[in-house]
Structure 1
Amino acid sequence: MLWIKILHIFFVIAWFAGLFYLPRIFVNLAQQNDHPDTYACLLGMARRLYSFTSLLAMPAVMFGLALYGAYGIGLYGPGNGWMHAKLLFVTLLIGYHLSCGAMLARFERHENKRSHTFYRWYNEITVLLLFGIVTMVVLKPF
């Protein structure tokens, strides 16, 4: 059981690392309208990072589901409200990940309309989600 937990934590950290960095590449892409060579290089980096981060997300979720099943926490019963909240944060994280894919597609089509400032702020969403997830898991407040 501990190995499953170790693998879950490892892949979650790796997944978050990718999600922390990808919007930073978007910041730079949004500033490269006059530099097509730099834009192409950054776009290639973003594509590879998104693909790799997507691969890391899958085992993070799979090992998380394995832990959920193995510990028999369940969604119902007294004291399991924290799990509802954690699953909400994880669902939002998956949505954030997918939205990064949609943003990447807009950059690939040269249809980005957002400023570099937007992407700087958008990058902070992962920090809030990470804080929420860790708080629920460690404190189990309800």
Structure 2
Amino acid sequence: MANYFDWIKAAHVISLVCWFAAIFYLPRLFVYHAMSEDTISQERFVIMERKLYRGIMTPAMIATWIFGLWMVISGWEVYKTQGWLHVKIVLVILLSGYHGACGFYRKKLIDNPQYKSHVFWRWFNEVPVFALVIIVILVIVKPF
């Protein structure tokens, strides 16, 4: 039978999958929002973006942090000397900043759908991919 640490780890992975799903999708909505030209579409994107950000993305980020910190605290004696974890935490902090930037941009798009071009949003959408790749390598390979 799995110990409590395995349950925390499972909850952490589930919440981070939900967070990343939302963090990949929200900037994609920004692309479509910036390309929309009619009021009905723009209003629809405002609603979709708000529900995704507030109803899924933010709770998933909070859960990811809670379960991640719970694991670190539970295994601190082992983790404190593992450099990969320190790098991962820095990346998660940066990803949390990206999350905050998404919230800022979401509000900007409400009043000005052409605040940034769809090309900007397409590039902006790629940023979390790099974080995910590095984080997965750190956790699985533990290079240092």
Letter of the 1:120 counterpart: R
Aligned length: 138
Tell me the equivalent position of 2:140: 138
For residue 111 of structure 1, report the CA deviation from its aligned partner. Answer: 6.6
1:109 to partner: Cα distance: 2.5
| Structure 1 residue ranges without an equivalent (≥5) | none
Q: Which residue of 2 aligns with 1:83?
A: 85
Q: What is the aligned-residue identity percentage?
A: 36
For 1:27-80, what per-residue CA distance to the aligned partner results, in whole angstroms no more than 9, with x for missing partners? 011011x311110001100010000210111111100000001112444x3xx1
TM-score for both structures, normalised by structure 2: 0.91
Instruction: Give me the TM-score of the superposition, normalised by structure 1.
Output: 0.92
How far is 1:113 from its partner?
A: 2.6
SS of corresponding position for 2:115: coil
Q: 1:68 aligns with which of 72, 81, 84?
A: 72
Which one-letter code corresponds to 2:39 in the other structure? P
C-alpha deviation, 1:18, in angstroms: 0.4
Select between 54-63 and 104-113 the one with higher mean Cα deviation. 104-113
Q: Partners in 2 of 1:44 and 1:37 — Cα distance? A: 11
| Contact 1:25–1:42 under 8 Å retained in 2 | yes
Corresponding position of 1:108 = 110
TM-superposition CA deviations, 1:87-118 (whole Å, max 9, x none): 11101110010000000010122274311011
* C-alpha distance in 1 between matches for 2:94 and 2:60: 17
1:117 match: 119
Answer whether contact 1:106 1:112 (CA < 8 A) is retained.
no
CA shift at 1:119, angstroms? 0.5
CA contact (8 A) 2:91 2:135 kept: yes
Which consecutive unaligned segments of at least 5 residues does structure 2 have?
Answer: none
Letter paired with 1:10: I
Equivalences for residues 86-101 of structure 1 within 5 A: 86-101=88-103
Among 45, 68, 74, which residue is 1:42 paired with?
45
Q: When you count helix as a share of all residues, which structure comes out higher? A: 2
